[in-house]
Amino acid sequence: MKTVYDFTVKDRQGNDVSLSEYQGKVLLIVNTATGCGFTPHYDPLEAMYKDFREQGFEILDFPCNQFANQAPGTDSEIHDFCTLKFGTEFPQFAKIDVNGENADPLFAYLAGEKPFGGFGKGIKSTAMNKFAAMNNKQFGDKAYIKWNFTKFLIDREGKVVARFEPTVDMADVRAAVAVELDK
């Protein structure tokens, strides 16, 4: 059976990184953007990373510019922004596509394991449904990810155990990570 450890991605310098390097760790894989309304998620993500990394937790950050062009910079510019503004220390990889014909195979796999289940309820969710529907028309059946800051929780065996849309409260994401680390 396939796991995230079967995938190779590019680091910010363009070097191949096998995700098998993270074997045995709990992972949170996130597609991010620097100019999004959800960009403040970097604060609770970094707090989680600092609190849990000694327990075998890693956040893998994949910038993506496919949602309203909200990550237009180079890999270096995006990294500088995140480290200077949010103090991020978790691994950040090369900018990728998460949807369409050029979607990174990792994100196609993640979305296949945990498909989109909706943005939830409320005003924020209603607005997100409209934005995502307009944006993702161009990708058709390859619209795997609906917006920036979609998060996938991976267990220590490399299996996808949960998907969190950007509208999910970060306290709920943190709680799920803590439960997974305690297993």
- Dist CA 65 CA 94 (whole Å): 11
* Catalytically annotated residue among 28, 29, 33, 36: 36
Contact by Cβ (8 Å): 23, 158:
yes
Q: Which two tokens stand for residue 44?
A: 């609770």
Do the Cβ atoms of 8 and 17 come closer than 8 Å?
Answer: yes
- Known catalytic membership, residue 64: no
- Give the separation between CA 141 and CA 132, rounded to whole angstroms: 13
> Cβ contacts of residue 116 below 8 Å, gap of 6+?
144, 145, 146, 163, 165
Output the six-digit token pair for 21: 């390097």
Among all residues, which ones are annotated catalytic?
36
